[in-house]
Chains A and B, each alone.
Chain A
Amino acid sequence: MGFEWFVASRYLRSRRKQSFISIISFISIGGVALGVATVILVIAVLDGVEYGLRDRFLANEAHVVFRLHDHSFFRDYQKRITQIQAIDEVVAASPVILSQTAVFPEHSEAIQDVIYIKGIDPVAEDRVTGFSKLVSGSTDFQDSEYIKNARLIRNETITGGIVLGGRLAARLGVIKGDLLRFVVTLAKHPVNESMLIPDLANFVVIGFYESEMAVYDNNFGFIHINDAQKLYNKANRINTIFVRLRDAELAPQIARKIEDTVQFTVLEGIPDARTWMELQAPLFSALRLEKIATVIIETLIILVASFNIASTLIMTVMEKTKDVGTLRTLGSSRGNIMRIFMIQGSVIGTLGTMLGTTLGLAFCWLLSSNAERPAYWYIIVLAVPIALQVLIALWRALPNRDGWKFAAAALWIIGIGFALYCAVRPISFAELGLSHIYQMNQMPIKVNWFFVIFINVLSLLICWLATLYPAWQAANLKPVEALQHE
């Protein structure tokens, strides 16, 4: 241990020998620790929300959506799908007709809503978005029991089955087996040609789509692609291809590749492949912006904590002015003095950062693990520090009979630990009634190790910088004036 370490470590301790560290050092360490812990926890929650949304989104969403620039229908789609599927990294491609239509349910006389219609090939769609897993009811668009038992009035015909977004169905007030009428086109009245009458198509509700993605559950109806072609009179044509990739992160490159691979004539139109990132840009860029803002604010928290270190050191320097004078008479150089105080500050910063990282990660762990975590995990986590504390207390109790203090400290830690155990559970969005907003049942936590390392380095750096001025101030005390300081 060098001379500077020898002196600095003594200054970190309190005058009373039995405490490991002086109260003022402890407060400074606590300040840094709280700052670091908060940053780690908050960023873990933000990352968790982003990745949670992302995973949920990507599980049932195409990674690339291919269309023509003007969204018009095109022919030869099987050939084009084959071309797309030949590209590396493409797992599946599914033909889709995307459209909108006004609907009114069986018992209603008026148009109730305009909904998005997605005409799909159920088998291909399953491979891209896992469609059937999210449907309660039937996905058999032609031969479902519901269609056979549909209550038809007059001499209407049924075009096919429809799977409705769950919340859309609730809003329209329809249940499985009910008829839903689409307004497809307007036709001229056979007698009075100045009058337009709607051309209606009838669909039977055969199932509900429950993805917990509000945009689908609220607005979409799924019909068979053949029915959609019939409905819009676009035989053998589609307007969209949904593509799933092996790695969603590669979407930008693969999208460009698809645009280059799939050939269209000028008359047909310009191919336009959009990635999931582009389609959800507002959401994800909002999340990213939020994270940047948070990192800045949290860095300020650490900066504030570092002021603690600076003021602690300035106080120490003032308190030790006479000692600095003495050390100078004994032959310490300015550099020696500067290093003594820099070491003192850096030790505070390092201990604070380490403690903060441990605390932050511990909270992340407590918040992220689910209810199935076995109880003995808690016991281990609590028992280890308590056991250590009790051992220290017993050990200390032998020579100086101060054991009761440490027993009290141990009890205190048991209390804190128990409070943590009771209070810190995963935050349930479901219990708080927030699952609809966040589309998740539990507050998600994702620890980004790169960021944890980054924040550690940043905190150490800030704390180190905070030591510079006080240490410089100590180093430049004039020996004679310092000696005479009272």
Chain B
Amino acid sequence: MKNSTEVLIRVVDLHKSYYDGETELQVLQGINFDIYTSELLAVVGASGVGKSTLLHIIGTLDRPTAGSVLYSEDDVFTLPDKELAGFRNKEIGFVFQFHHLLPEFTALENVAMAALITTPNHKTVYKEAEALLDYVGLAERCTHYPSQLSGGERQRVAIARALINQPRVVLADEPTGNLDRRSSEMVLELLWDLNAKSGQAFVIVTHNQKLAQQVDRVVRLVDGKIF
């Protein structure tokens, strides 16, 4: 499965600028790269260089100032909001540095959430969510609320949540940035295992050099450009 040459996402001449009053801050200045199906890609770079911004744009959470992101050659930013949301729901999974679990919902409900948006059939959804929690080693924690889980457990719930709709790509922004070493290793092992098994593409933003050495490919972001 590894080393696929099939392009999943094509990032074409991506620009992103922020305006602070009159001053224009150019974060991304013409980014071009491809993400292949089922590859494990790391985006590295100094902090504040625009790694997260790039990830948000690839994840359709933010819009580029110029340029496009092509999923299987389709420009997703031409979609209206509702369809873009549906696309995000089906095709993209997110894992953030902070778990971003919904505090009012149990671990199981958090995992099931993305599927619940489109599927009203709760039973099968919850069954799948349970299987995912079992996979990340938290089968006993289904009814716990995020506040009742440890940092590492929360992040594992967040990973399970990203997978519920079997997206084609999982975007992870510093997934271990907020964890101790033991939890970090557990989370990373989980990611490698997932990538090996599921054939999903993983894009991981990190400045963890050790992590960067363990991936298929590294993209380095310097001054808003890819090197």
Contacts and interface: CB of A to CB of B under 8 A. Distances in A.
B137 interface: no
The 8 A-B residue pairs whose C-beta atoms are closest, nearest first, are A331-B89, A333-B85, A330-B114, A479-B61, A331-B88, A333-B82, A10-B104, A326-B100
Interface residues of B, number: 29
Interface string A1-39: 111001000110101000000000000000000000000
A478 B102 CA distance: 18
A323 interface: yes
Contact of B89 (A1, A6, A330): A330
Contacts of A483: 61, 96, 100
Given A479-B62, A480-B61, A332 B117 contact: yes
B28 interface: no
Given A15-B104, A326-B102, A334-B81, A480 B117 contact: no
A329 interface: yes
B113 interface: yes
A335 interface: yes
Given A2-B120, A6-B116, A329 B102 contact: no
Interface in B30-89: 56, 59, 61-62, 81-82, 85-89
Where chain A touches its partner, the secondary structure class is: helix
B104 A11 contact: yes
A341 to B, nearest CB: 14
B90 interface: yes
A11 B161 CA distance: 20
Contacts of A329: 59, 61, 88, 94, 100
B103 interface: yes
B135 interface: no
Interface of B: 56, 59, 61-62, 81-82, 85-90, 92, 94, 96, 100-105, 113-114, 116-118, 120, 161, 165
Interface residues of A, number: 26
A325 interface: yes
A13 B104 contact: yes
A116 to B, nearest CB: 75
A228 B104 CA distance: 87
Nearest to A481: B62
Contacts of B165: 331
Interface in A38-69: none
Given A3-B120, A332-B117, A335-B82, 4 more contacts: A326-B101, A331-B88, A331-B90, A334-B85
A388 B103 CA distance: 32
Contacts of A330: 88-89, 94, 113-114, 117, 161
A412 B85 CA distance: 48
Interface string A74-104: 0000000000000000000000000000000
Contacts of A334: 81-82, 85
Interface string A304-342: 000000000000000000110111111111111000000
A303 B189 CA distance: 57
Interface string A402-420: 0000000000000000000
Interface in A427-486: 478-480, 483
Contacts of B100: 322, 325-326, 329, 483
Interface centre among B100, B103, B165 (most CB of A within 10 A): B100
